Amino acid sequence: MLRFNILGSLEIRQHGVDCTPTAPKVRAVLALLLLRANQTVSQDAIFDWLWVDRPPRSAATTTQTYVYQLRSLFERVGGVGTATQLLITRPTGYLLSLGEEQLDATIFTRLCEEGSALLDSGRTAEAAQRLRGALALWRGPVLDDVNVEDRMAADLAHLTELRMRALELRMEADARLGRYRELITELRALVVAHPFNEWFHAQLITALNQCGRRAEALHAYRNLRQTLSDELGLEPTPELQELQRQVLNGSAARLVAVAG
């Protein structure tokens, strides 16, 4: 069974072997079809994807050539009949028909949903494992070796936001399991990468305090407060201010839960 990956560089794999096309335009068409897997992608959408608002007169014929090249690849690496099953011509365009286990983004979404449901039901260790498996599918930014520009910004943003949600849920699961020491290094990196994400800062403060590192927890709060003041003219949220008070009072600062 052919496997398609978009959570990172574009990949087609068969039995672990990379079969990804190298021609830039063919890769671009494949990327669009994968982002819209199991949906009909119109010819006009492909034209806009490849040439923005200046398609050549030969756009229809050229697109058919790229689709033919993809079908030839599928047939060559997937076996007889694979191409007609995967890449279907519709009256208005093309549809890439994939099973649930063929696209990493689909698997990722399913694992996220399962992890969230497990966490809600109190099966915390299972939730952490499921969410960790989901996040492990990411090898880098979505389609990071394909020039997608801004035309698929909504599709890319959705997957990126879902990854952030999965990361937050996994951290909440780990915290519920008392894995604060394991979280500290990861959280330090995250607050540097996302300096205005107050949820990450709250988790770092909580983890440090839970590990008996109260001075570091207070220092982490001061860093956040300074960043918000200098860059945005804001104060930390009331929830974070309460978290600081708990640390100052020597109480077990409570984890700020992931928003529903």
In tens digits, what is the pLDDT along the chain, a chain of 260 residues? 899 999 999 999 999 999 999 999 999 999 999 999 999 999 999 999 999 888 999 999 999 999 999 999 999 998 767 888 999 999 999 999 999 999 999 999 999 999 999 999 999 999 999 999 999 999 999 999 998 666 778 888 899 999 999 999 999 999 999 999 999 999 999 999 999 999 999 999 999 999 999 999 999 999 999 999 999 999 999 999 999 999 999 876 655 554 44
Q: Between the CA of residue 215 and those of 201, 209, 224, 248, what are the distances in Å?
A: 15, 8, 14, 9
200: domain CATH number? 1.25.40.10
Query: Distance between CA atoms of 191 and 178, rounded to whole angstroms?
Result: 20
* SS3 at position 25: helix
Q: Does some domain include residue 112?
A: no
Strand partners, 88: 95
Radius of gyration in angstroms for the set of CA atoms belonging to the chain, rounded to a whole number: 23
Instruction: Determine the pLDDT at residue 260.
Output: 43
The domain boundary residue, chosen from 96, 122, 148: 96
Q: Does some domain include residue 36?
A: yes
Structural domain including 240 reads 180-260
Instruction: Determine the pLDDT at residue 1.
Output: 86
Query: Hey, what amino acid is at 203?
Result: Q
Q: Does some domain include residue 140?
A: no
Q: Between the CA of residue 217 and those of 176, 190, 202, what are the distances in Å?
A: 19, 15, 9
Q: Cα angle at 39 between 37 and 44, to 5 degrees? A: 105
Q: Which residue, among 241, 248, 245, has the nearest Cα to 224 in the 3D structure?
A: 241
Instruction: Determine the pLDDT at residue 255.
Output: 52
Q: Does some domain include residue 217?
A: yes
Query: Distance between CA atoms of 222 and 21, rounded to whole angstroms?
Result: 50
Residue whose token pair is 């966490």: 119
Task: Say if CB 67 and CB 87 are below 8 A apart.
Answer: yes
Query: Distance between CA atoms of 51 and 47, rounded to whole angstroms?
Result: 6
Q: Does some domain include residue 26?
A: yes
Q: Does some domain include residue 202?
A: yes
The domain boundary residue, chosen from 96, 120, 138: 96
In this prediction the pTM is 0.90
Q: Which residue, among 41, 44, 32, 24, has the nearest Cα to 4 in the 3D structure?
A: 32
Q: Does some domain include residue 116?
A: no
Query: Distance between CA atoms of 234 and 146, rounded to whole angstroms?
Result: 38
Its sign, for the CA torsion 118, 120, 123, 127, is: positive
Instruction: Determine the pLDDT at residue 90.
Output: 95
DSSP letter, residue 237: -
Task: Say if CB 20 and CB 27 are below 8 A apart.
Answer: yes
82: domain CATH number? 1.10.10.10
The domain boundary residue, chosen from 80, 96, 112: 96
How many folded domains does the chain comprise? 2
